[in-house]
């Protein structure tokens, strides 16, 4: 039997770091990443035959769990008729209609292949529509790896303690203004100084790439009011939160309608698919109608669209989000209670089917507060739970995800495993009170 460690050594010979996305490499937590062979429901199995309860869900897309039979059937049926045409298909229209019906901000939508592509295109469109260059983003938020966004970004960049990237020209970075997340006063001051130069704000309405950070309602309200007053656009990056925190996404949950939104993850059902969209008069600036160019050979490809449509059909079922949120709360409350019983500084919270775990006394509300959490304690927790068959994100700077396939018994087994860990002497000697 080939082991995970052997495969990782082999992968590093021809793949940088042995992985095709940085956080998969386990650099933050240490050890060899798991190579997975099969998934079903809330569980997946690695190449050594070990099974894990999955709280990553392919980083969010698998809201129905692994290998949902109707999603797999839709993919197989569509693939049998052709993988890609580079031409319009009927299902693209159906998906666009569904997205525009469910998301409050969407009149029109353009399908793309990744969240990075969606964010990059939405920003270009905002600049083209307003005729301005300056972009506002927030410390710790991640919007993909295009040049203008790799300025104090979150996600895997935080894992390595490097909040920017080499290879980004200074001239590009100077068009991005970085402010503290959840700080409405700092945002107001920025608009007072440079409001006439700002094309757009881009923000994760629930930050999920510096762990989960809940938004201050006043912060989101300020972003909406200031952009409207100064003629800038508000872009909600809902690649992660879209159809994950609520059926009408974070924009519906918080009652804030952005000018443009980006979506990904859930809308592809595990296949590479994303979208950006918004008000009709803005979207009509995109080629071929307008002067803002965007294109993609595989955009709206039949297989990904089929997976997305099949997934979206299920999430509209009555009670779907109530159960998803209930399971996430059960996990967060159970883990917190277990830690507190043993005097461990730990807390957790969820918004819909997203959750955050923090080795801290209180849930953080900003990048600076996230960086004060005990990452060494998280790393020990991660490996202990991994060994007991519970797979969390291999980084203290990532949100977690519940799927509809997680049962009450699944959550209870995870809480029980965590309690055993919190109670063991090896943890108590590292306790930070």
The terminus-to-terminus CA distance of the chain in angstroms comes to 43
Are 114 and 153 contacting, i.e. CB atoms less than 8 angstroms apart?
no
Of the candidates 338, 347, 340, 357, the one whose C-alpha atom is nearest the C-alpha of residue 416 is 338
Two tokens, residue 341: 């019983």
Burial category of 31 from C-beta neighbours within 10 Å (exposed 0-12, middle 13-18, buried 19 and up): middle
Which architecture characterizes domain 4-67+318-428 according to CATH? Answer: Alpha-Beta Complex (3.90)
> Could you report the per-residue pLDDT of 301-345, keeping only the tens digit for each?
999 999 999 999 999 999 999 999 999 999 999 999 999 999 999
Beta-bridge partner residues of 391 = 54
Q: What per-residue confidence (pLDDT) applies to 43?
A: 98
Instruction: Choose, from 52, 259, 265, 358, the residue flagged as catalytic.
Output: 265
Instruction: Choose, from 129, 142, 358, 391, the residue flagged as catalytic.
Output: 142
Q: What per-residue confidence (pLDDT) applies to 165?
A: 64
State yes or no: pLDDT of 267 exceeds 80.
yes
Q: What per-residue confidence (pLDDT) applies to 347?
A: 97
d(CA 320, CA 309): 16
CB count within 10 Å of CB 298 equals 16
Q: Is 280 helix (H, G, I), strand (E, B) or coil?
A: helix
Q: Is 250 helix (H, G, I), strand (E, B) or coil?
A: helix
Instruction: Choose, from 237, 259, 374, 410, the residue flagged as catalytic.
Output: 237
State yes or no: pLDDT of 277 exceeds 60.
yes
Two tokens, residue 115: 């969240």
Of the candidates 100, 132, 147, 129, the one whose C-alpha atom is nearest the C-alpha of residue 196 is 132
Of the candidates 273, 352, 351, the one whose C-alpha atom is nearest the C-alpha of residue 311 is 273
State the chain's mean pLDDT as an integer.
93
The reply to whether 265 belongs to the active site is yes
Two tokens, residue 123: 């920003």
Paired sense of beta strands 274-278 and 108-112, if any? antiparallel
State yes or no: pLDDT of 162 exceeds 70.
no
> Helices marked H in 103-169 — which ranges?
115-130, 156-159
Are 275 and 267 contacting, i.e. CB atoms less than 8 angstroms apart?
yes
Are 55 and 391 contacting, i.e. CB atoms less than 8 angstroms apart?
yes
The pTM score is 0.94
> Could you report the per-residue pLDDT of 74-120, keeping only the tens digit for each?
999 999 999 999 999 999 999 999 999 999 999 999 999 999 999 99
What CATH number is given for 69-315 in this structure? 3.40.640.10
The reply to whether 142 belongs to the active site is yes
- Domain(s) labelled CATH 3.40.640.10 in the chain stretch across 69-315
Rounded (10°) CA dihedral 149, 153, 154, 159: 120
d(CA 279, CA 283): 6
> Helices marked H in 320-389 — which ranges?
320-341, 367-370, 375-387
CA atoms within 13 A on the CB side of 218: 7
Contacts of 101 (CB under 8 A, 6+ apart): none
- Domain(s) labelled CATH 3.90.1150.10 in the chain stretch across 4-67+318-428
């Amino acid at each position: 039997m080939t082991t995970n460690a052997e495969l990782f050594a082999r992968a590093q010979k021809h793949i940088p770091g042995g992985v095709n996305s940085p956080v998969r490499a386990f650099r933050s937590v240490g050890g060899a990443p798991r190579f997975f062979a099969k998934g079903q429901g809330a569980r997946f199995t690695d190449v050594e035959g070990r099974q894990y309860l999955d709280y990553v869900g392919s980083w969010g897309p698998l809201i129905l769990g692994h290998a949902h039979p109707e999603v797999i059937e839709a993919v197989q049926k569509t693939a049998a008729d052709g993988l890609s045409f580079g031409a319009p298909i009927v299902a693209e229209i159906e998906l666009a209609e569904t997205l525009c019906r469910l998301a409050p901000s969407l009149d029109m939508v353009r399908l793309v292949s990744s969240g990075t592509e969606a964010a990059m295109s939405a920003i270009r469109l905002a600049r083209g529509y307003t005729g301005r260059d300056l972009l506002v983003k927030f410390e710790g938020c991640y919007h993909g790896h295009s040049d203008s966004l790799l300025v104090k970004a979150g996600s895997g960049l935080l894992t390595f303690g490097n909040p920017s990237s080499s290879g980004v020209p200074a001239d590009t970075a100077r068009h991005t203004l970085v402010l503290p997340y959840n700080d409405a006063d700092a945002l107001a001051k920025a608009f007072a100084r440079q409001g006439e130069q700002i094309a757009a704000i881009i923000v994760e309405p629930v930050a999920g790439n510096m762990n989960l950070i809940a938004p201050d309602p006043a912060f989101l309200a300020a972003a909406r009011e200031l952009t409207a007053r100064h003629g800038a656009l508000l872009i909600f990056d809902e690649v992660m939160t879209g159809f994950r925190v609520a059926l009408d996404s974070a924009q519906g949950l918080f009652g804030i309608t952005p000018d443009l939104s980006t979506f990904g993850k859930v809308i592809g059902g595990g296949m590479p698919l994303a979208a950006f969209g918004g008000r009709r008069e803005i979207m009509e600036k995109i080629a071929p109608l307008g002067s803002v160019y965007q294109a993609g050979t595989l955009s709206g490809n039949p297989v990904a669209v089929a997976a997305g449509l099949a997934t979206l059909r299920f999430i509209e079922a009555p009670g779907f989000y109530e159960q998803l949120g209930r399971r996430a709360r059960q996990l967060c409350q159970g883990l917190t209670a277990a830690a507190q019983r043993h005097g461990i500084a730990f807390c957790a919270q969820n918004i819909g089917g997203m959750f955050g775990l923090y080795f801290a006394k209180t849930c953080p509300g900003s990048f600076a507060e996230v960086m004060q959490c005990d990452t060494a304690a998280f790393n020990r927790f991660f490996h202990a739970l991994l060994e007991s068959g519970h797979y969390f994100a291999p980084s203290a700077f990532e949100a977690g995800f519940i799927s509809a396939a997680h049962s009450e018994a699944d959550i209870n087994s995870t809480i029980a495993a965590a309690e055993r860990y919190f109670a063991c002497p090896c943890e108590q000697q590292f306790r930070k009170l």
